[in-house]
Amino acid sequence: MPNIFIKADCEIEVELPEVGWTSGEWKSQENERICDDYGHPKCTINFRIENPNEPICPALIFVGDNDAMDGGISVEALSETKYKFTIKGVFKSKIHKDGVALLNSGQKPVLEGVSRFRHDYNFDEPRATDCEFSLKKLK
């Protein structure tokens, strides 16, 4: 799969539906240990590129904290149900060749959700993002 480079400087607030909804997993030291042991990212910011020709088949881009070339991703618990993900820096991830075609056709990635310790939370509606995406290395 081709590389994609992402330059970001943003904060993403997540309001979970209720106390205990996945936040227990997001606080689990055991889940953090598994990420460390197996080299999984501790958190990801998840993007998608809508495919107008096949709406049920968007291109996905997962940007993990371990994809950082410069900078990083951090997560802060603001309350039992509210978290703040901060992504700042330049990241190198992978994208499917269909995603490359969508980018080249002018489609823009949108923010789909986040994950922590391999447990996802997707937003009800995708969110616009001002992150920069490039198929060439960013500085």
The pLDDT tens digits of the residues spanning 25-43 come to 888 899 999 999 999 999 9
CA 2 distance to own-chain centroid: 17
Q: What is the pLDDT of residue 11?
A: 96
**Total domain count for the chain?**
1
Strands of 132-134's sheet in order across: 68-77, 82-94, 3-15, 132-134
Binning pLDDT at 50, 70 and 90, where does residue 57 land? confident
Return the percent helix, strand and coil in the chain, to nearest 5.
Answer: 20, 50, 35
Q: State if pTM tops 0.85.
A: yes
Q: If DSSP codes are grouped into helix, strand and coil, which group holds residue 21?
A: coil
Average pLDDT over the chain reads 91
62, part of any domain:
yes
Domain of residue 43 covers 3-134
- Report if residue 139 sits inside a domain: no
Which residue has better confidence, 138 or 91? 91
Q: Is residue 96 part of a domain?
A: yes
Tell which residue, 136, 123, 135, has the closest CA to residue 46.
Answer: 123
> What is the radius of gyration, based on Cα positions, of the chain?
15
Better-scored residue on pLDDT, 100 or 55? 100
